[in-house]
């Protein structure tokens, strides 16, 4: 029996779908995904399950005047999930979520978790992030449970990890972000929609790092932002991953420039449809997590 296997049997690990884990987990992974919903016209899809990123971004390109909308997991679907987990023998759960600055998902999950407190001990960790670095929190939860940590210890570790994670992202177009209200939710004002900005998102805070006006300048500015964030740091303690929002050619150009500047060679992970509904089809970025000392 593997170390920590009993704890893992007793404790479920769940992650909201926006963490991009569908692109990296195999079907035997014990991590379970809480799906947000994306609506495209008259159709509704479970994020990343019955609407994969490639097909979603193709739809967006073909329907520029039909903005998609999103919806967090419903309270009833969460109750059903927790009852199912209890029936399977789980008595605890660690749930990592999309930033509460971007979605009400964390609040809804916390509310239902409180309802279920007599049945299960549910630890909800608002990662303060989105995309790949959000998903990394669930991977860390799995690693720690396998190492024999308790659910409470895992949740405490993840809370300490939050300020050590960040998302650096460049947007070639602000159209979708403006239409979706993503900037308003994140608490930032952008008056010129012609700009191609680079943002840093960390611990529920969004900051504009640079503003550019053509794609080549955007790529260079995003590369410079990444290089600046990893300069002088012990790379063996960093988890770094690339991501893109539908435009793979743009990401490949970015990844080439990033490799030339930093030596990093990052395969891009698709940004999920729910996140794409906020930021559009032409986003490129990098997630960085600095591990806590063991």
Can you spell out the DSSP letters for 155-218?
Answer: HHHHHHHGGGEEEEEEES--HHHHHHTHHHHHT-----TT-EEEEEEETTEEEEEEEESSHHHH
Residue 217 — very low, low, confident or very high, per pLDDT cuts 50/70/90?
very high
User: Residue 46 is inside which H or E element, if any?
Assistant: strand 43-46
Closest CA to 94 of 174, 192, 14, 182: 14
> pLDDT digits over 178-193, tens only?
777 766 666 666 667 7
Note the pLDDT of residue 64. Answer: 87
pLDDT tens for each residue of 121-145: 999 999 999 999 999 999 999 999 9
Q: Domain check: are 183 and 135 in the same one?
A: no
pTM over 0.85: yes
- Shortest CA distance to 127 belongs to which of 144, 148, 93, 102? 102
Do 174 and 274 fall into the same domain?
A: yes
Instruction: Tell whether 57 is covered by a domain.
Output: no
Long-range contacts of 138-143 (CB under 8 A, 24+ apart): 138/13, 138/14, 138/15, 138/19, 138/21, 138/31, 138/96, 139/21, 139/31, 141/13, 141/31, 141/94, 141/96, 142/8, 142/13, 142/29, 142/30, 142/31
With respect to residue 50, please indicate whether it lies within any of the assigned structural domains: no
On whether both 27 and 152 belong to a single domain, the answer is yes
Q: What percent of the chain has a predicted confidence (pLDDT) above 90?
A: 82
163, 197, 232 - which closes a domain: 163
User: Do 13 and 133 sit in the same domain of this protein?
Assistant: yes
* Whether the predicted pLDDT of 5 surpasses 60: no
Instruction: From 134, 163, 192, give the residue that closes a domain.
Output: 163
pLDDT at 3: 45
Same domain, 159 and 212: no
Q: Is 293 exposed, middle or buried (0-12, 13-18, 19+ CB in 10 A)?
A: exposed
Task: Say if residue 46 is exposed, middle or buried (CB neighbours under 10 Å; 0-12, 13-18, 19+).
Answer: middle
What pLDDT, on the 0 to 100 scale, is given for residue 8? 64
Residues 178 and 284 in one domain: yes
Same domain, 117 and 189: no
Whether residue 226 is found in the same domain as residue 180: yes
The verdict on 280 and 208 lying in the same domain is yes
Number of domains in the chain: 2
Q: Is 243 left (phi over 0), alpha (psi -120 to 50) or beta?
A: beta
Is residue 235 over pLDDT 70? yes
**Domain that includes residue 141, residue range:** 5-40+70-163
Cβ contacts of residue 70 below 8 Å, gap of 6+? Answer: 36, 37, 38, 39, 47, 103, 274, 277, 278
167-186 average pLDDT score: 81
Domain boundary, last residue among 163, 193, 218 = 163
Residue 2 pLDDT grade (very low, low, confident, very high; cuts 50, 70, 90): very low
Q: Report residue 51: phi and psi, to 5°.
A: -140, 100
Q: Are 171 and 158 in the same domain? A: no
Residue 196 lies in a domain: yes
Residue 60 lies in a domain: no
CATH of the domain at 237: 3.30.1180.10
Q: Is the residue at 46 inside a domain? A: no
121 and 197 assigned to the same domain: no
Span 69-75, average pLDDT: 96
Does some domain include residue 185?
Answer: yes
């Amino acid at each position: 029996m593997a170390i920590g296997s009993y704890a893992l049997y007793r404790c479920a690990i769940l992650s909201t779908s926006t963490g991009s884990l569908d692109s990296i987990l195999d079907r035997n992974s014990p991590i379970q995904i809480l799906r947000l919903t994306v609506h495209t016209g008259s159709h509704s899809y479970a994020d990343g399950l019955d609407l994969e990123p490639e097909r979603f971004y193709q739809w967006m390109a073909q329907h520029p005047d039909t903005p998609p909308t999103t919806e967090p997991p419903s309270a009833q679907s969460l109750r059903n999930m927790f009852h199912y987990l209890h029936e399977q023998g789980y008595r605890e759960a660690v749930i990592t979520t999309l930033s509460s600055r971007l979605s009400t998902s964390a609040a809804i999950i916390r509310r239902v978790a409180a309802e279920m407190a007599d049945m299960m001990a549910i630890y909800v960790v608002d990662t303060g992030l989105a995309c790949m670095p959000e998903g990394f929190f669930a991977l860390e939860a799995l690693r720690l449970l396998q190492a024999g940590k308790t659910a409470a210890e895992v949740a405490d570790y993840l809370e300490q990890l939050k300020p050590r994670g960040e998302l650096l992202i460049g947007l070639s177009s602000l159209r979708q972000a403006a239409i979706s209200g993503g900037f308003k939710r994140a608490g930032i004002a952008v008056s010129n929609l012609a700009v191609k900005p680079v943002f840093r998102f960390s611990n529920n805070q969004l900051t504009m790092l640079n503003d550019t006006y053509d794609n080549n300048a955007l790529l260079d500015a995003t590369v410079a932002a990444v290089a600046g964030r990893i300069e002088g740091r012990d790379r063996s303690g960093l988890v770094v991953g690339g991501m893109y929002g539908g435009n793979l050619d743009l990401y490949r150009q970015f990844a080439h420039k990033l490799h030339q500047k930093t030596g990093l060679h990052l395969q891009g992970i698709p940004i999920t449809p729910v996140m794409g509904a906020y930021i559009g089809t032409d986003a490129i970025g990098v997630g960085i997590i600095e591990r806590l000392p063991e």
